[in-house]
Each structure stands twice: as structure tokens, then as C-alpha cells.
A and B are shown apart, each in its own frame.
Chain A
């Protein structure tokens, strides 16, 4: 019976960081590893001899830089989640509710030429980014990607719960990611008056949960979407421009 169960699990192995996730060597520092089917698909492109232009929108990762540049690809790194915490972006929407100034955000960030990137690593950005920035950012990413370019994004399912921790993702090898919990950090930022403020971030919180329809709408301008349902309450999405 056990062998049947084992075979069954082998069939469905793939994107997973559930109870059977690969043992992390450094549990104390909240490091986990997970297998990523979406990354495995991308890895086929990374193995290409043709140099790719890759945009990594997660936290700055030496591992990702090493992995990608070691294969001859060009890597651009931009942590949009940190950039979205800029206090001067705060504004109000038409209904008077607090929002972030998406026009200003896009003038300060993602300032690249159109059709520049072959691959965009979005990781879990959409789940944690402020609502007012999600669609504008995805629209900008569409314009920055080459036709046929690929975008990898992770979305939590409802089962993940509102306190799902935010991770930074480091590529270990073809389909293995190491995940580090994003800890609160002290940040020095300039306020609207130009005075520097030191704040202690409280970490980032899951802003919403996208269902499949939401995800399809979010990427409706792209040509195709492929979902990978994982057992750790994550949907991996690989999108083609």
C-alpha cells in the first residue's frame, strides 16, 4: 500500500513545498526549498545558448544573479515591493480611499525600453503589491516583454490564509527554489518634505487572493497562460506575451 501511495505521489510530484518538502538545512533562518514546475519550464529556456534578457522583480538575490549570469544571460533586478513602500506615493483614489500613485510609481520604476525582456520573474509580487499598482504594473510588464517572452508568477490560494508569509525566492538549480522569509527591516527613506525618516517595516501582508478567473483577467493581453497547482497553496502561473 505504501508503495502504491509512493508511486501515486511520484506522479503528482512537482511544485510543492507541503509537508514533504525538501528538508531545509537552515530551518532557524526560515529557509525552505520547494520544487517549482514553472521554473522547470523556464529552465529549458535558461539552458539556451542564446543570451536572454531577464528581469527579476523579487528581492535582490545573489543566487539568481549567479545562476542567470553564469549561463550567459543578462539580469536586471528591481524589487518592486520595496519600491512600493515609498511614502511619497501615497495618494487617494476617485472615491477618496487611500491608494498609491501608479503613474508616479511607473515613472520611477520599470523604466525600460519596450520589448526588452525575454523572461520576467514576478514571483509572488501580485499577491503583496498594493491593489492600485497591480494592473498598471502588469500592463507595463506586457509592454516591456518581447513577443513570446515568458513571465513566471506565484499566487496564493484561499487555503494559504491571510497571514501567508512573504518569501524572497532564490534559484538553486533547474527546478529548485530556496525561499527566505522576508523579515521586517529598518529603512531610511526621504519623506515628501525631503527629511529622512527611519521606519521599522512590519513586513508585508497578503493583499488579496486571485482566483483563476482573476489571474486570466490580469494577463488577458498575453497570448497564453499555463497553471501549475501545487500542494503548498500556491498556483504557479507561466504566461507568454
Chain B
């Protein structure tokens, strides 16, 4: 397990519960519970296997081995290990997900939140699919061989 040396990381042990906003300028390892928000601009957050986070997280790198509910904004990388359970949206440059990790949410690559700025999480905009737009300009269907608006079935042996 990737438990860091405590001298290198600030460490929240598994019996510790923190409620509120957590801000720091050093790397943080959380094996306990945190509710609120975590802001470690330029530093990394590691959620240990016993860690349970219910917070929006902003950091350079986020490594999740435990449970994290909340949005993640990582300027560099997000790493979900195989025991990770993560629910929330992710904005980062790179994502690594081990086989077996559970993730529910949106992934947005390459658009980290600017310092002090607002989150770039947005709801999606168009009401008609670009796929449909393209179809409208052509055959009426984006699938070759399928046309028209009434239900159409096309069976193809390949």
C-alpha cells in the first residue's frame, strides 16, 4: 500500500474526523474522514484506503485509494487506485484508473480551474446532437443505410 512517510506528508489518521474547510501548502495524506472542502494548491492529496472524503478537492495531484465524494480539480493528475470509490466530477490534465476502481461522474481533461477562479464545471449546452446536425445536412440519419424518422430496423451480417 502507498502509505507515505509521515515526515513527507501531513497525515490525518484513520480515527480522525475533520469537518470544515481544509487548506494547506504541503502534501496531505488522509486516512480518516473529511467533510467540507480541501484546497492544496500546488500540492498533492492522497486518500488512503480507510479515507472517506465528502468534499470538493483542489490540488495538484489527487490519489484515491479510499472513498471520495465530491468534485476534484487537479492541475496535474488524478489517480484512482483499484480500491477507489469516487463519485463526483473531475477536471484535470491526466487520469489514471486501475482496474476495479469505481468512478461515477464527469471527466474533463485539460481544463483545470484557474487559481481563485470559478469552477469550470458546466452543464451541457446544445439541445440537438451534433450527430443529428450532421445527419440533417446529409441523409437524415448519421447511420449509413438508415434513413427517415419512423422506426427503422436494419440488420446487417458482418
Q: Are B135 and A76 in contact (CB under 8 A)?
A: no
What is the number of contacts between chain A and chain B, taking CB atoms within 8 Å? 150
From B154, which residue of chain A is reached at the shortest CB distance?
Answer: A226
Q: Assess A60 versus B128: contact at CB under 8 Å? Given A223-B151, A226-B143.
A: no
Q: Which of A86-94, A112-120, A127-135 contacts B (4 or more CB under 8 A)?
A: A112-120
Partner of A60, one of B102, B109, B134, B136: B102
A32 at the B interface (CB under 8 A): no
Residues from chain B with Cβ under 8 Å of A223 in the complex = 148-152
Per DSSP, chain B at the interface is mixed
Q: Assess A15 versus B103: contact at CB under 8 Å? Given A61-B97, A65-B97, A149-B132.
A: no
Q: Are A147 and B108 in contact (CB under 8 A)?
A: no
Q: Are B152 and A12 in contact (CB under 8 A)?
A: no
Size category, B interface: 35 or more
Q: Are A230 and B146 in contact (CB under 8 A)?
A: no
A75 at the B interface (CB under 8 A): yes
Residues from chain A with Cβ under 8 Å of B156 in the complex = 37, 226-229
Q: Chain A, 113-154, contact with B by CB distance < 8 Å: what is the 0/1 string? A: 101111100000000000000000000000001111110000
Q: Which of B29-37, B39-47, B119-127 contacts A (4 or more CB under 8 A)?
A: B119-127
Q: Which residues in window 50-83 of B have CB below 8 A to A? A: 80
Q: Are A148 and B100 in contact (CB under 8 A)?
A: no
Q: Are A150 and B142 in contact (CB under 8 A)?
A: yes
Give the distance to chain B from A178, nearest Cβ to Cβ, in Å. 11
Partner of A148, one of B97, B101, B103, B128: B128
Residues from chain B with Cβ under 8 Å of A79 in the complex = 102-104
Q: Which 6 pairs from chain A and chain B are nearest by CB?
A: A148-B132, A14-B158, A146-B129, A69-B109, A62-B97, A50-B130
> Measuring CB to CB, which residues of chain B are less than 8 angstroms from any residue of chain A?
80, 95-97, 99-110, 123-124, 126-136, 141-146, 148-158
| Pairs A–B under 8 Å by Cβ, sample size 17 | A44-B142, A45-B130, A52-B129, A52-B130, A60-B102, A65-B95, A82-B102, A113-B123, A146-B127, A146-B132, A223-B148, A223-B151, A223-B152, A224-B148, A227-B153, A230-B158, A240-B146
